[in-house]
Amino acid sequence: MSLHPILVALRKHKAGVVLIALQIALTLAIVCNAVFIIYSRIEKVNRPTGINETNLLLVEQQWVSASNGDSAAGIQQFDSLLRNDLDTLTRLPDVESVAPINSIPLLNSSWTGGIALKPGPGLSDKNNVHTAYYFGDEHMVDTLGVHIVAGRNFTSAEINNKGMRDQSEPNLVIVTQDLAKKLFPKDSAVGKVVYLDGSNTPSTIIGIVERMQIPAVGWGDNFTWYSTLVPTRVNAIFSRYIVRTRPGRLDSVRRSIVPALYNANPMRVLDDDDAVRSFTDIRENAYRADVGMAVLMGVVCLILLAVTAAGIVGLTSFWVGQRHRQIGVRRALGARKIDILHYFQLENLMIAGGGAVIGIGLALGLNRWLMSSFEMQRMPLYYVLAGLVVVMVLGQLAVFVPARRASNVPPVVATRSV
Amino acid sequence: MLAYYFDLALRSLKRNRALTALMVLAIALGIGASMTTLTVLHVLSGDPLPGRSGSIYYPQLDPQDMKDYTPGVEPPEQLTWTDGMYLLRAKRATRQALMTGGMVPLQSAQSSIDPFQAAALYTTADFFPMFGVPFKYGNGWGAGEDGSKARVVVITSDLNDKLFGGKNSIGQILRLKEAAFRIVGVLGDWHPNPHFYEWYMGSYASDEDVYLPLSASRDLLMEHDGSTECWGNSGGDQSHLETVNCTWLQFWVQLDSPARVAAYNDFLQHYSQDQHAMGRFMRPPNVRLRTMMQWLDHIKVVPSDTRLQTWLALGFLAVCLINTVGLMLAKFMRRAGELGVRRALGASQRALFGQLLMESGVIGIAGGLGGLLLALLGLWLVRQQPADYAKLAHMDITMLSATFVLAVGASLLAGLLPAWRACRIAPALQLKGN
C-alpha cells in the first residue's frame, strides 16, 4: 500500500494529527521516566541489608535518673544498668542472643565518621572514607547475623565501655568487605591499621563481615555499605538492644520484653508502641515513602496510558465517521475490508511514530532535568525504547476497534447521499 | 442568549454521551491529581506565621576555621553559645530569641501518669511575644527568669489536657529531669506549619510539649538533640557546650523596617570583623540575614518527593488537556453541517464561537466538580500516609477556588482552538457538500 494517500489525507487534519502526536509524545516522556523512578525505588527497597532480618527485635529505652552521662561515675552507673538489662533479656525464654547496639541498618539514627590510613586530623584528606559506626559487644555479630568472611569476631575480653561523648577511639574494629576493599584495594585488610575520625590512636582491623548496610535512610548514598563495628558499649541515659529469638517465637518474646524490663528496674521510660520493634517493622517504616511513591507513579502511568488510548479511539472514531462516504467509494471501487483496516492502522502507526520520535527527545530531556533538580540517575536508553514499543502497540490496539468499524462500511454507501 | 447557548450545549453533550463522559473524566482526573499535589505543596510551603513572618529574620555567622573555606561558602546553620549569647544580649533587634530542642523525662507530681519523654524547647523570653504565641492561661517568662536560671515552664494545651484535665494549672509543679519546675503558662492553640524554628525535630513534626528557659536547661545539663556541628578538635561534649567550637543554637530576630534590617546586617558584619581581628573567627566576615520564608526555602523544607509528585501531576494534566482539545476539535468539526446551517440563517461567527465555548465551559465545570471530588479523595489518601506532614493535607478556600479556576480555565483554553476552527467554516461550502 502506498503511503501517499495517507499523507495527503493527514494534511487535511493537521490540528488533530498534531494533538494526537503531542499527546503520545508527552505520554511516552512521562511514562518512561515514571517507570524508571519506580524501578529505582523498587531496587532500593529490595536490597538486603546484609543482616539476618528474620527473628530480630530492637529494644529502645531510657532510664529515669539524675546521673550525668559525662562524669566517670555516671558512665559506670549507666554501664551497670545496661549490663543488668542485657542479663534480663538473655534470661528470657526463646531468646538466642542479645547485644547492646547504638543503631541498626535502616533505623535512620546514625553515628558516622571518617576512616583514614594516616593519623591526625584532616577530614578532607583523600584517603579519608566516610563510614557509619555500630557500637556493641562480642554478641553483636551473631545477634545481627552478619557473616565474618575473614579474620575473627571480638572476644569478651576485648569489649570496653565509654560515655557517649568520649572521643577516644577503639584499638580493634571489624569492617565490611566493601569498606575493606575501598581502604585496601590490593590485599587483605585483616591486621591492617586505620585511624578513625582523624585521631592518632591506631585501630587494627581484626575481621571482615560480608555485607552490612549503614543506618541512614534517604541520605548517605555514597557510603551505604561502609559500616564499621566497634567493640565498645556506649553508655548514656538511653540504650538500645538487639534480640535474636528462636525461629517462630518472635511475637511471644516481643510481648515478654517490656514487662521483664520494668520488673527488673521500674525507673525507666519505654514507649508504648515503639519500645520493641521487629526488624520487619523497621524495614517497612524506612521504605514506606518509597513504596508509596512507586505505587503512585504506577497508578499515574496506567491512567495516562488509558487516557491516551481513549483519546486515540475518540479521534479515530470521528475520522471514520467523517470519511464514511469516501470509505464506501473505495469499497465500491474494489478495496477489500482488510485494505480499509490497514489504511487506518498504517495511519495510526505514522502518527504514533511521529509522536514517539518527539517523545524520545522529551523523555531524555525530562530525565536530564530530573537529574539536575532531583538527584536522579541517568535513565538507560532501553527504557525509552521499551516505552516506544509500548506506545506504538497501545496506538495499534486503540485504533483497532474504530478501524474495524470502518472496514465494515458497505460499498453501497457510495451510492447514497448523506 | 447565554441560557440558549447553555441549552444547546447540553443537547449537544447528550447526543454523544460516551465522548462527553470521556472528556469530563479526562479533565476530572487531570484536575484531581494536580489539585491533590498542589494542595500538599501549598500546605507544606505555607507561611507558618502569616502577617508576622515578613519581619522575622534568621542571622548566620561563620566562626569556623579555614579548613574547606572558599569565598562565598554558606555559613553554618546554627550559632555557637558565645555568639548566640552575644547577639542575644546586644539587643540590637526589636526582639530576639535563642533556642534549641531536646527530650526530657517528665514526671507530674499530681497525676498518676507514668514518667515519659517530653519534647522540650529550651529558649529565651522573647520567643513568645516575637512569634505571637497565644496563651490560654498565664504568660511566658521574662528576661529576669532567663538571667536567674529560673525553674519555670510553659506547657502546651495538649499536655495540660493530659496532665490536668484542661484546668488552669498555673503554679503547679512538673518534674523535668528530676528537678521541680513551676508552670507559668499554658499555650493556646498554636501549631505553626512548617515547624520553622526547630526544624531538626522534623519540619512538620508535632509541636513540643514544654518550653523552658535555655539557662535552666544548661544548668541541669538537659539533653540537647538535633545537630551539633563542630570543627577543630572540639567534640560535642554535652557539659561544656558553652565553650566548645560547636554550633548548636538557633537564633531568630524581629526587625520591623528595612533600615533596621540594614543596620542589623552591618552589626553582624562588624561583629564578625571584630572577632576576626581578635583571632577568634579565622574566616573573614561571612554573614547571612534571611527572612523566615527565604530561610525555609534555603533549608529545602518541602520534601523533594512532594515537588516531584507535583510536576508529575502537572504533566498528567497537560496530557489530559491535550486529549480534551483533540476530542473537542473532532466533535466540533463533525458538527460543521449544523454550524453551516446556523451561519446561513444569520448567526454571526461570534455567536457560534460563544456557543461552542459555552459547551467547553460546561465540560470544564463538570470536570472541575469531578476533579474536586477526586482531589478530596486524593487528600484523604495522603492523610492515611505515615509522613509527618500527612495530617496537614486539607483543602482550604484558596485551593478550593483555585481548583475551579483551573478546571474552567483549562477547559475553556482547551475549547478555544476547536471553537475558533469550527466557527470559521464557510457556510456555503458546508451546505453545498450536503
- Of the partner residues B308, B315, B327, the one whose CB lies closest to the CB of residue A315: B327
Lookup: cell for B289? 540575614
Same domain, A135 and A241: yes
Q: Which residues contact B27 (CB under 8 A, 6 or more apart)?
A: B320, B321, B324, B363, B364, B366, B367, B368, B370, B371, B407, B410, B411, B414
| Chain B nearest-CA residue for A25 | B319
B107 contact residues in A (CB cutoff 8 A): 64
pLDDT at A205: 95
* Same-domain pairing of B57 and B206: yes
Same domain, B280 and B329: no
Q: What is the pLDDT of residue A257?
A: 94
State whether B116 and A26 contact (CB < 8 Å). no
Which residues in chain A are closer than 8 Å to B318, comparing Cβ atoms?
Answer: 26
Q: What is the pLDDT of residue B431?
A: 63
Local confidence band at A124 (pLDDT 50, 70, 90 cut-offs): very low
Of B298, B313, B340, the domain-final residue: B298
- Are B116 and B209 in the same domain? yes
- pLDDT at residue A142 above 90? yes
pLDDT greater than 80 at residue A12: no
Our CA-based measurement puts residue B195 at a distance from the nearest CA of chain A, in whole angstroms, of: 20
Tell me if A363 is assigned to some domain. Answer: yes
Residues B307 and B290 in one domain: no
User: b/e string for B309-333 if b means 16 or more Cβ within 10 A?
Assistant: bbbbbebbbbbbbbbbbbbbbbbbb
Considering only alpha carbons, which residue of chain B is nearest residue A375? B304
Instruction: Decide which of B271, B298, B325 is a domain's last residue.
Output: B298
Check whether residue A258 and residue A386 sit in a common domain: no
- A352 in the same domain as A206: no
Examine the domain organization and report whether B362 and B251 are in the same domain. no
Query: Do A69 and A75 form a contact (C-beta atoms < 8 A)?
Result: yes
* Residues in CB range of B220: below 8 A, 6 or more apart: B176, B177, B179
Confidence category of residue A125, pLDDT binned at 50, 70, 90 = very low
Of the residues A282, A296, A416, the best mutation for testing chain B's interface (the one with the most B CB atoms within 10 Å of its CB) is A296
Which residue, among B218, B322, B374, B431, would best test binding to A if mutated, counting the most A CBs under 10 Å from its CB? B322
pLDDT confidence of residue B235: 56
In a domain, A57, yes or no: no
CA distance A418 to B5: 27
* Nearest CB to B330; choose among A22, A271, A318: A318
Q: In this predicted model, what pLDDT tens digit does every residue of B233-263 receive, in sequence order?
A: 655 556 677 777 888 899 999 999 999 999 9
State residue A394's pLDDT score.
92
Q: Which residue range(s) make up the domain with B255?
A: 53-298
Residue B410 has pLDDT above 50, yes or no: yes
- DSSP string across A366-415: HHHHHHHHH-PPPPPHHHHHHHHHHHHHHHHHHHHHHHHHHHT--GGGGG
Domain boundary among A207, A233, A266: A266
pLDDT tens sequence across A57-88? 999 998 877 666 667 888 899 999 999 999 99
Report yes or no: B307 at the A interface, CB cutoff 8 Å. Answer: yes
State residue B418's pLDDT score: 82
Contact flag B319-A308 (C-beta cutoff 8 Å): yes
* Tally of domains within chain B: 2
Say what the pLDDT of residue B86 is.
92
Asked if residue B313 lies in contact with residue B36, where contact means CB atoms within 8 angstroms, the answer is yes
Cβ within 8 Å of A, B 235-254: 235-239
**Cα distance from A278 to chain B (closest Cα, Å)?**
18
The stretch A141-146 carries a mean pLDDT of: 94
pLDDT given for residue A147 in this prediction: 93
Buried b / exposed e across B121-148, counting CB within 10 Å, b at 16+? bbbbbbbbebbebebbbbebbeeebbee
Q: How far is A201 from chain B (nearest CA, A)?
A: 14
Query: Under DSSP, is residue B118 helix (H, G, I), strand (E, B) or coil?
Result: strand
Q: Specify the higher pLDDT residue, A383 or B339.
A: A383
CA distance A275 to A60: 5
- CB-nearest to A165 from B237, B307, B434 is B237
What pLDDT is attached to residue A273?
Answer: 77
CA dihedral A386, A387, A393, A394 (to 10 degrees): 150
Q: What percent of chain A has pLDDT over 90?
A: 52
Q: Please tell me what DSSP assigns to residue B79.
A: B
Q: Are residues B262 and B355 in the same domain?
A: no
Check B233 against A121: CB less than 8 A apart: yes
- Which residues constitute the domain of residue A151? 65-266
Q: What is the pLDDT of residue B207?
A: 73
Q: What is the pLDDT of residues A338-367, one digit of tens each?
A: 998 998 999 999 999 999 999 999 999 999
Residue B224: what are its φ and ψ, rounded to 5°? -105, 125
Q: Which of B241, B308, B341, B417 is the mutation pick for testing A, counting most A CBs within 10 A?
A: B308
In a domain, A52, yes or no: no
- Min Cα distance B262 → chain A (Å) is 33
Q: Please give the share of chain B, as a percent, with pLDDT higher than 70.
A: 93
- Do B107 and B141 fall within a single domain? yes
Judge if A199 and A163 occupy the same domain: yes
Residue A418, pLDDT > 70, answer no
Task: Return mean pLDDT, chain A.
Answer: 88
Q: What is the CA radius of gyration of chain B?
A: 30
Q: How far is B219 from chain A, CA to nearest CA, in Å?
A: 12
Which pLDDT score is estimated for A180? 94
Instruction: For residues A47 and A179, give the distance between their C-alpha atoms in angstroms, rounded to a whole number.
Output: 18
Which residue in the set B67, B68, B326 is minimally distant from A315, CB to CB?
Answer: B326
pTM above 0.80, yes or no: no
More confident residue, B304 or A389: A389
pLDDT (average), residues A244-271 = 91
Q: Please, what is the angle between helix A381-407 and helix A337-374, to 10°?
A: 150
| Residue B221 with chain A: CB contacts under 8 Å | 68, 70
Both B38 and B61 in one domain: the answer is no
Half-sphere exposure of B226 (CA within 13 A, CB side): 25
Angle between helices A337-374 and A279-322 (to 10 degrees): 140
* Model confidence at B334: pLDDT above 80: no
* Chain A: closest CA distance from residue B382 (Å): 10
Write out the three cell numbers for A201. 590512636
Examine the domain organization and report whether A69 and A25 are in the same domain. no
Q: Nearest CA of chain B to the CA of A224: how many Å? A: 20
With beta carbons less than 8 A apart as the criterion, state whether B328 and B26 touch. Answer: no
Would the CB atoms of B323 and A121 count as touching at under 8 Å? no
Co-location of A135 and A258 in the same domain: yes
Q: Are residues A9 and A77 in the same domain?
A: no
CB contact under 8 A, A64 and B115: yes
| pLDDT tens, residue by residue, B164-177 | 888 898 998 998 88
Query: Cα B262 from chain centroid?
Result: 27
Instruction: Tell whether B90 is within 8 A of chain A (Cβ).
Output: no
A179 Cβ neighbours under 8 A, 6+ residues apart? A115, A129, A131, A225, A226, A227, A228
Looking at CA atoms only, how far is residue B93 from chain A in angstroms? 36
CB pair distance less than 8 Å for B117 and A374: no
How many independent structural domains does chain A possess?
A: 2
- Other Cβ atoms within 10 Å of A127 Cβ, number: 13
Longest dimension (CA), chain B: 98
Residue B152 DSSP code: E
Say if residue A118 is in the same domain as residue A237.
Answer: yes
Give yes or no for B312 touching A (CB within 8 A).
Answer: yes
**Cα of B263 to nearest chain A Cα, Å:** 36
Q: Of B298, B328, B361, which one is at a domain's C-terminal end? A: B298
pLDDT in tens, A147-179: 999 999 999 999 999 887 677 889 999 999 999
A42 with A74, same domain?
A: no
Q: Is B330 on the interface with A (CB under 8 A)?
A: yes
Contact B421/A at CB under 8 A:
yes
- On whether residue A319 sits in a domain, the answer given is yes
A–B interface: beta-carbon pairs under 8 A: 119
> B116 and chain A: CB distance < 8 Å anywhere?
yes
Number of Cβ within 10 Å of residue B34's Cβ equals 27
| CB-count exposure of residue B51 (10 Å: 0-12, 13-18, 19+) | exposed
Q: Is the pLDDT of residue B27 over 60?
A: yes
| Opening angle at CA B161, ends B100 and B189, nearest 5 | 60
Q: Which residue of chain B is at minimal alpha-carbon distance from A64?
A: B105
The answer, yes or no, to whether residue A135 has pLDDT greater than 90, is yes
Q: Are residues B192 and B321 in the same domain?
A: no
**Full DSSP string of B122-149:** EE-TTHHHHTT--EEEE----HHHHHTT
Same domain as B133, residue B32: no
